[in-house]
A and B are shown apart, each in its own frame.
Chain A
Amino acid sequence: METDFERGVLRSGGVVNQPNPLVAAAVVIFQVSNFGQQIGTKSFIPKKILLRNNAGGILWLNLGTVAVPTLLPPLRIQNNMDANWQEFELPRVEFFADMIAWTDVMAAGGSLDIQVEVEERG
C-alpha cells in the first residue's frame, strides 16, 4: 500500500519567449514560491518541458538556477521544430530557486518559446 504523502501538486509556468542567446540573456521559466507568509520551504521538480524554436537556428538549451552548474544536461533543439521532454525522460532534479534557461546561439530575428510543467513540493 502506498500513500500520496510524497506528492506535490502539478502546475505550469507561463510561455516564456527567449529572443537572445547566452547566459547573460537567461530567462526565468519557473519561479520558486517564496511568499513571506507561506508555511515552509517550497521546491519543484520539472515534469514536462515544451519548446518551440521560431527560426532560432539549431541550438542547445541550458537549464539551471545559475550559470554553473546546470541542473540538467543541455537539450538539443532543432530549428523551426517543436520539442518536448516528459517526466520519464527527465531525472528527478529538485529546484529550490528560480529555474532559468539560456541558449548557446540564436539566429538574428529568431526566438525560442519555452514552457515547463512542474510538481511543486513542500
Chain B
Amino acid sequence: MADVMLRAYKASIAMEPIVALDYYVRIKTYKAVFYRQVDYMETLPPFQALDLGVLAAQTVSARGSISAGAANSLFDLQGDEFGQWRWFPYDIFMARIFLPAGVAKHQLKFLQLGIEHSIIYRDPLLVTTEFNTWQEERPAFEAMNYSDYPLAATRIIAMGYRFHTVELNKETEDKIKDGDLPCTTIVCAGKA
C-alpha cells in the first residue's frame, strides 16, 4: 500500500524521482522480476533523445529508437540501471510508443493511444507520458505524420532520472517478499 500511495503522490506533481537513494525496488520487466536496492541516482535534464527523420505526408515511420545516422539509442542505460522518463513529440506528429519494441504501451481494447505535440498543453507536466526502462530494454517509437505536409524532422524530447542499483542478499530479498521491508515496484515494460 505504501508504494501505491507513493506513486499516486509522485504522479500529481512535477517530475520527481520515483524512489530515493537506498530504497528497495522490485523491477518488473516484461519477462522477469528483480529485487534490488538503489545506490546511486541522478537527473537527466530534457534533451533531444530521438529524431526519426524526414517523414512524408500521411505516412508512418519505421518503428525505432535510434536516430538516423546515429549508432546508439540514447534511451539505453548502463547495466544494473533503471530509468524514469517523461517525453513528448517536439515536432507536429503523433507518436506511438512500444516498450520494448514488440509491446505496445497505452493500450485500450480497440486502440493504442498516440501522443501528439499537443501533450505539452493538455498535460503540461507530461505526467501521463511517464515510463520506466531497465538497462538496454529501450522503448521504440513510431511517428505518424497525419498532415498533408511533409516533415523535415520527427524529434522527441525526453527527460527524467537514472538509478543505479545493486543486488540484495537472499535474506533481505526474502524479507521484502514476506512484507517485512518496504519496497517500491518499478514497472519497466508495457503489458503484452
Chain A residues packing against B (C-beta within 8 Å): 1-3, 5-6, 39-41, 43, 94, 96, 121-122
Contacts and interface: CB of A to CB of B under 8 A. Distances in A.
B82 to A, nearest CB: 22
Contacts of B46: 5
B124 interface: yes
Contacts of A1: 124
A94 B126 CA distance: 24
Contact of B155 (A2, A3, A5, A122): A122
Given A3-B124, A122-B48, A96 B157 contact: no
A8 to B, nearest CB: 10
B88 A96 contact: no
B152 A40 contact: no
A2 B88 CA distance: 14
Contact of B120 (A5, A41, A43): A5
A2 B117 CA distance: 13
B90 A122 contact: yes
A53 to B, nearest CB: 32
Interface in B120-169: 120-121, 124-126, 152-153, 155, 157
A40 B47 contact: yes
Contacts, number: 38
Nearest to B68: A41
Nearest to B125: A3
A118 to B, nearest CB: 15
Contact of A96 (B117, B124, B125, B152): B152
Contact of A43 (B47, B117, B125, B152): B152
A44 B155 CA distance: 14
Interface in B14-64: 46-48, 51
Nearest to B51: A41
B120 A6 contact: yes
A40 B155 contact: yes
B190 to A, nearest CB: 24
A66 to B, nearest CB: 13
Given A5-B88, A122-B90, A41 B155 contact: yes
Name, among A3, A5, A6, A39, the residue most crowded by chain B CB atoms within 10 Å (CB to CB). Answer: A5
B130 to A, nearest CB: 15
Given A2-B124, A6-B90, A40-B51, 16 more contacts: A1-B124, A2-B120, A3-B120, A3-B124, A5-B46, A5-B124, A5-B126, A6-B117, A39-B48, A40-B47, A40-B67, A40-B155, A41-B48, A41-B67, A122-B48, A122-B90
